[in-house]
Structure 1
């Protein structure tokens, strides 16, 4: 069976680009984290790699003073941040156009990711996310389930990463 005849519904991995998301980078001093979280009406996890949901989105701690925020209500977030700025200096930058997100799923998704990521992907707990590299591209890897991941990639690196993923996927399919 060649790749054109392969039933991709039963493929070892599925790769799908998700709709564009509204994303923000938030930088605030660690000592202001809790107050900023209250001002924005969301949890800002303290530990790198921890995620938290809120009414209109999700946050991810990327560093001691850095969070990624995904939201369906960007205007409300910007208004709350603007209101808090005088007492809680911070940087809130919309980065929606910078990245794309791929959903990677399937029984061999760990093998697929291992082809370009030096991390022990299996050790990444469900519900966590990390900034890492895939080949030479910086990515954010979200583990949503045992065989379900999201990968945020800068648009400029997306063709390179997609090419590597397609090659690895073809190798996995050929091994069926």
Structure 2
């Protein structure tokens, strides 16, 4: 005899409170440059490099996130990849830096809806009330290093290394189901 377990909730109920979507690929770069030269290199790349950790700057469809005193994450449409590489190469002699393409290393999930913040708290130790919309931070989700973006009050992005994505997605889906069940 086989046991069959049923639940009182549906996937539709789970996604009504919080939605998890994998986002389309983008060009990503890890940029290291001395803070004194950040403004010069930013102009060469077509955007201001923010000077405070967690701050974001956007221009021409490109986004720069300050991850550390001399470290930025640059995201742009895939079509902008070659232009960014060419601009960095041209600026290198006057402004030494390290620009490494990491596009294939990560994927991004959008977590949105009225229970998005609650879902993220299942495995993120950060106080998300302190993460203002329009900011992002490097943190952990369970034991996985991630970049967490807060795009709006109920709208987050989670950049995850591709090798850890199945683990993170599974945790998010378990949490989503638990929220729908009222656990």
Q: How does 1:28-107 map to 2 (within 5 A)?
A: 28-72=33-77, 73-107=80-114
1:125 maps to 2:136: no
1:155 maps to 2:162: yes
* Structure 1 unmatched ranges of 5 or more: none
CA distance in 1, matches of 2:154, 2:68: 25
What displacement does 1:89 show? 0.7
Q: What is the alpha-carbon root mean square deviation over aligned residues?
A: 1.7
Over alpha carbons, which structure has the higher Rg?
Answer: 2
CA distance in 2, matches of 1:3, 1:40: 52
CA distance in 2, matches of 1:41, 1:65: 18
CA distance in 2, matches of 1:5, 1:112: 17
Contact kept? 1:8, 1:14, Cα under 8 Å:
no
Partner of 1:23: 28
Contact kept? 1:3, 1:170, Cα under 8 Å:
no
What displacement does 1:131 show? 0.3
Q: Which range moves more in the overlay, 4-13 or 59-68? A: 4-13
* Structure 2 unmatched ranges of 5 or more: 1-5
Question: Normalised by the size of structure 1, how large is the TM-score?
Answer: 0.95
SS in 2 for 1:7: helix
Alignment CA distance shift 1:3-1:104 (3 Å): farther
Contact kept? 2:13, 2:180, Cα under 8 Å:
no
- Size of the aligned set, in residue pairs, is 176
SS in 2 for 1:115: coil
